[in-house]
A and B are shown apart, each in its own frame.
Chain A
Amino acid sequence: MKKNIVFACSSGIATSTVVAEKVREHCEQHGIDIDSRQATVGELTGLDDSVDLFVVTSDVGGGYKTPVVNALPILTGIGEQEVLDHIVSLLKG
C-alpha cells in the first residue's frame, strides 16, 4: 500500500528536495511505495491528519496528529542512517 509523506522546509523547495530524494530511495530499498509532496512549513497545519508522515528540516513545534520526523541529520550526514531507519519503521509500524 502507498504511504503518503509531506516533506516540508522553509521554502518548500531547497532542503526538502534533498531530503525527499534520500527518503524515497531508502523507502524503495525497503519495499515501501511512497507518494510524496513538498510544502512549506506554514502549510503543515492545513495538511495535519491527512497523510502518514511529515518530514521536516526546520523546527515546527509540536501538536500535530501526523507523526513528525526532523530530518536535519539527512542534511548534515551525521546520524543520517538512524533517521532513515526511523522513518521506515514508522511507515511499516
Chain B
Amino acid sequence: MGQTIVDVFQYILSFGPEVMLPIIIFIMAIAFRVSFSKALKSALTIGFGFVGIFLVLDLLTGSLGPAIEAMIDNSGVNLPVMDTGWPPLAAIAFASPIAPIVIILTIVINVAMLIFKWTKTVDVDLWNYWHFAFAGSLVYIATGSLIVGLIGAAIATIITFKLADWSAPYIHKRMGLPGISLPTLSAVIYFPVGILGDKIINLIPGLNKLNADPESIKKRFGVFGEPMMIGVILGIIIGIIARFEIRNIIELGISLGAVMFIMPRMVKILMEGLMPLSDAIRNFLQKRFPDRKDLNIGLDIAVIIGNPAVVSTALLLVPVTILLAVVLPGVIIMPLGDLPFIVVPLAMVLVATNKNIVRSAIIGIPMLIVSLYFASNLAPLVTNVAESIQYEFPEGATSMINSFLDGGNPVRYWLVMLAQGNWIAIAAIPVILIVVWYIYKLSRRDFDENGQLKE
C-alpha cells in the first residue's frame, strides 16, 4: 500500500509543468476560496501559458542555437549561452517542485514580518513570487536539499522586503506613488547600489552637474526600445558573423524578432491565469491588517518603468551591453531576450539618483558587467534546473540557456555560492552587511528631522 502511494506520487511528479502546475494552482485557488469554475479555468489557462512559453523557447533555441555554434566556429565571438530573457526562467521557477511551498512560505514570512513590524510592505504581487521560487530552485538543484532551497528562498524574500521598505519613501515622493512599495527582487537590490553611486558622483566635480534630456535620447536610440527590432537586428548581425548565406541570415532575423514579439504575449496568458489566485491572496493579506495606515502595498516594478528617464537610460545601455558581452573575457552569454528589460534593474537606480539619466547610466555599466559574469557562471546550473522540469532542448541546439539579468542576479548568485560553501561568498557576508549598513546611514541624510525626504 505504502509503495503504491509512493508510485502514484512519483508518477504525478513525472508530469511536465504544463500538467503539474495547473493541478497545484487549482488546489491552491480552492484553498484560498476561489470559486470552482474560476479556479479550473485559471488553472488551465496557466497550463496553456506554459505550453506557449515553451513553444517560443523551442523556436529560440532551434533557430539561435545552430547560429551561435556557427558563430563560434567561424569567428572569434565565443558566446555559447543563449539569453532566453526572463520569461522562461519565471516559467521554470513556477514549475519547479519547490514553487508551491515558496508561495506559501512567502505569505507566511510577509504576515509574520508585518505582525512583528519588521516590514511595512504587504506584497500583493503573487506574480513576482517567482523571483523567490527561482532563488529556491537554484539552491535546491545546486545542493539537492529541499530545506536548504527553502532557506535560500526565505533569505531572498526577507532581503527584498527590507529593501522595498528602504526605497519606499523615495518612490512615494520621486515617482509620485504614495502608499506603494516595489518588492521586485530583480530591481530593488540595485537601490543601495544607486544610492552609493549617486553619493560618489556627487563628489566628482563636473560630472555631478551633468544630466540629459530623455526625449532626445528616445529619438536617437528609440529603435532599441522595440523588442522586435532588437530581435531582428541581432538576428541579422549574428547571422552575418556566423557566415550564414543571405537567406538564412534573413530567416534568423525574422525568427528572433518573432521570439521577442511573441514571448510577452505568452507571458500574458500565464499572468491572466494567475490572476484569480493573486486576487485571493491580495484580499487575504489585506484583510489581516485593516488598521495599519503605515503600510505600503507592494506592487510590480512595472508601475515605474514607464517613466521617460528610466526608458531612455535603458535605451542607452542596450548597445553598451552587447559590446560588453563581446569584449569582456570570460563572459559567455549572448545578450538577447533580457535586452528589453534593462529598465527593470535601472528603475531603482533612477529612483536613487532622482531620475538623473547620466548618473544612472554610469552606475548601470558596472551593474551590467557583474550581471553578465554571474549569468555566465550560473548558465550550467540554470540549464540543469530547466532540464529538471523535463524541458528538452530541440535537436541541434547548443545546450546552455540563461538570461543575463535575472540569471545573473547578484543576490541569487550569492545564495547559490553560499549554499555550495564557497568561502568567498561566506567571507563576503560581513563585508556586504557593513557596506549596506554604511549606505543606509548615508541615505538617512536625505531625510529631515521629521523623517521627510528632502529635495
Q: Which residues in window 51-68 of A have CB below 8 A to B?
A: 57-60
B175 CB contacts on chain A under 8 angstroms: 59
Q: Which residues in window 156-179 of B have CB below 8 A to A?
A: 175-177, 179
A21 CB contacts on chain B under 8 angstroms: 272, 275
Asked if B303 is at the interface (CB within 8 A of a chain A CB), the reply is yes
Q: Are A78 and B303 in contact (CB under 8 A)?
A: no
Q: Are B179 and A10 in contact (CB under 8 A)?
A: no
A32-51 to B contact mask, C-beta < 8 Å, 1/0 = 00000000111000000000
Asked if B330 is at the interface (CB within 8 A of a chain A CB), the reply is no
Q: Which residues in window 270-313 of B have CB below 8 A to A?
A: 271-272, 275, 278, 282-283, 286, 297, 299-300, 302-307, 311
Q: Which of A10, A17, A40, A60 contacts B268 (CB 8 A)?
A: A17
Known: A10-B306, A15-B300, A58-B307. Is A77-B283 also a contact (CB below 8 A)?
yes
Binding site of A, secondary structure by majority: helix, strand, loop or mixed? mixed
B303-338 to A contact mask, C-beta < 8 Å, 1/0 = 111110001000000000000000000000000000
Q: Which residues in window 175-196 of B have CB below 8 A to A?
A: 175-177, 179-180
Asked if B64 is at the interface (CB within 8 A of a chain A CB), the reply is no
Q: Are A11 and B271 in contact (CB under 8 A)?
A: no
Distance (whole angstroms) from the CB of A59 to the closest CB of chain B: 6
Q: Are A76 and B271 in contact (CB under 8 A)?
A: no
Asked if B264 is at the interface (CB within 8 A of a chain A CB), the reply is yes
Number of chain B residues close to chain A: CB under 8 A: 30
Q: Are B302 and A76 in contact (CB under 8 A)?
A: no
A40 CB contacts on chain B under 8 angstroms: 306
Q: Which of B179, B268, B299 contacts A13 (CB 8 A)?
A: B268
Closest to B263 in A: A13
Within the assembled complex, what's the spacing in Å between the Cα atoms of A1 and B223? 38
Asked if B375 is at the interface (CB within 8 A of a chain A CB), the reply is no
Q: Which of B180, B282, B306 contacts A9 (CB 8 A)?
A: B306
Q: Which of A9, A10, A77 contacts B286 (CB 8 A)?
A: A77
A12 CB contacts on chain B under 8 angstroms: 264
Binding site of B, secondary structure by majority: helix, strand, loop or mixed? helix
Specify which of B275, B278, B305, B343 lies most central, judged by the most chain A CB atoms within 10 Å of its CB. B305
Q: Are B286 and A57 in contact (CB under 8 A)?
A: no
Q: Which residues in window 1-33 of A have CB below 8 A to B?
A: 9-15, 17-18, 21
Within the assembled complex, what's the spacing in Å between the Cα atoms of A67 and B303? 20
Closest to A75 in B: B299
Within the assembled complex, what's the spacing in Å between the Cα atoms of A72 and B182? 13
Known: A77-B282, A78-B179, A78-B297. Is A17-B304 also a contact (CB below 8 A)?
no
A76 CB contacts on chain B under 8 angstroms: 124, 179-180, 297, 299
Distance (whole angstroms) from the CB of A89 to the closest CB of chain B: 23
Q: Are B271 and A18 in contact (CB under 8 A)?
A: yes
Q: Are B307 and A14 in contact (CB under 8 A)?
A: no
A57 CB contacts on chain B under 8 angstroms: 302-303
Q: Are A14 and B297 in contact (CB under 8 A)?
A: no
Asked if B267 is at the interface (CB within 8 A of a chain A CB), the reply is yes
A11 CB contacts on chain B under 8 angstroms: 264, 302, 305-306
Q: Which residues in window 241-286 of B have CB below 8 A to A?
A: 264-265, 267-268, 271-272, 275, 278, 282-283, 286
Within the assembled complex, what's the spacing in Å between the Cα atoms of A42 and B315? 14
Q: Pull 7 A–B residue pairs with CB atoms less than 8 Å apart, ordered by A.
A: A9-B302, A10-B311, A11-B302, A14-B127, A17-B268, A42-B225, A59-B307
Q: A11-B302, A13-B265, A18-B271 are known; give 6 further A-B pairs, CB within 8 A.
A: A15-B299, A17-B272, A41-B306, A58-B306, A72-B303, A77-B124
Q: Which residues of B contact A (CB under 8 A)?
A: 124, 127, 175-177, 179-180, 225, 264-265, 267-268, 271-272, 275, 278, 282-283, 286, 297, 299-300, 302-307, 311, 343
Q: Which residues of A contact B (CB under 8 A)?
A: 9-15, 17-18, 21, 40-42, 57-60, 72, 75-78
